[in-house]
Amino acid sequence: MTPAARLAAAIEIVETVASSRRPVADVLKDWGRSHRFAGSGDRSAIGSLVYDGLRRRASSAFLMGEESGRAVLLGMLRLGRGLDVEAIAALCDGSRFAPAALSEAERTRLETGSLDDAPAHVAGDYPEWLDAPLAVLFGEERAAEGAALAERAPLDLRVNTLKATPAKAAEALAHLDPTPGRWSPLALRIALEPDGKAPPVTAEPAFIKGEVEIQDEGSQIAAILAAPPPGGQVLDLCAGGGGKTLECAALMDNSGQIYAHDSDLRRLAPIHERLARAGVRNVQVRSPKGAADVLADLAGRMDLVLVDAPCTGTGTWRRNPDAKWRIRPGALDERVKEQATILDRAAGFLKPGGRLAYITCSLLDAENGAQIRAFLDRHHGFEVIPPAETLPALGLAGLALRGAALVRPEGAMLTPRRTGTDGFFISVLRRA
């Protein structure tokens, strides 16, 4: 396919996503099945165009003066990829399989349009109803925080210290030119290709042998700050696919015992293969079994309970840009209720002096600071361990992170703009 044909396909897919309100991954998969002639390179390039367009949907529509899929893609080429009007016109020449030629109005918009007068939610590319809650946290910087969330996410790896050292893993992946993480001593970052495509890391021998895992540096930081004690008893209550379970096992050097649980058996399914590949031996997977309480015997025994809480995922918009346009206030309300229920349950597993690490990939105070304040009102036997006491777990990088992160009495928040990671909130509490 020509670059122009790829752009035309991307416009069609963005319009389908908008009209159907389906996840973009599903729409892209359906498009690929019905267009078998498109090779893997074509599908990758089209997907990159679509994701970049959705990242900047609001600002592109503002620039172009309309919200069509065509306007979103044209505006993105100007705002996100830095193409001038002649380069965009060359892609839209009206030839077979190419988008129609630019109109005079489109040319004018692309030549002279700007975001100078755009409201914060447009300049920051997020839904208007989220402007007020983001203003509570970020004030006048909310548009800049949102714009950082509209950039592409990097590819971060975590070195599995059960099988390799950071130096050994970096050597094995030298052809990908990895750089050390800024904060996590376990992180390696690999630059994306110009079109946003990531190298096929899962085919690398270092990945196949379990020496590295794909994990955002912010997620790595969260597990390190939770400080799972070697030889201790740890419950990962919302383990999902097991990313933080695996990291905790390495931080504990395969000692003690970790119990991995998730209420959704489907989310938990990948953990078994990942544990085997990583060489983890200190994890028991407690899969849900109908109405049976598979965690009843753990009450009051845990040194650490990790709650990687289900949330709106506002901190992961770089990776899931369509999600920010599908989120609704009702979904936030449901998540807040679910988080409160999980926190209350988690408290019962801790022994005196045990710690509760509450983690979200959200930037909204309702899911973060307000959730912790409400928990403390319900559970008087808990106190927040100040971030100043948890951040030193990162070594010297922790001191720098204290200045970069948004630190609040309830915990620390990481954002793409401040820390170059996905958005994460991390709060560590202690039971009296």
How confident is the model over 114-173, as pLDDT tens digits? Answer: 999 999 999 999 999 999 999 999 999 999 999 999 999 999 999 999 999 999 999 999
Residues written for the chain: 432
What CATH fold (topology level) applies to the domain 217-431?
Answer: Rossmann fold (3.40.50)
Domain ranges (residues) in the chain: 3-118, 156-211, 217-431
Q: Which amino acid is at 137?
A: L
The pLDDT of residue 196 is 79
262 is in an annotated binding site: yes
Task: Supply the DSSP string of 385-416, one letter for each residue.
Answer: PPHHHHGGGGTHHHHHHHHHSEEETTEEEE-H
Of 238, 248, 311, 361, which is the active-site residue?
361
Q: What is the pLDDT of residue 197?
A: 82
DSSP summary character for residue 362: -
Q: Is 422's pLDDT higher than 80?
A: yes
Cα distance between residue 160 and residue 242, in whole Å: 13
Q: How far apart are CA 213 and CA 156, in angstroms?
A: 9
Q: What is the pLDDT of residues 202-214, one digit of tens each?
A: 999 999 999 999 9
Does 92 qualify as catalytic in the annotation? Answer: no
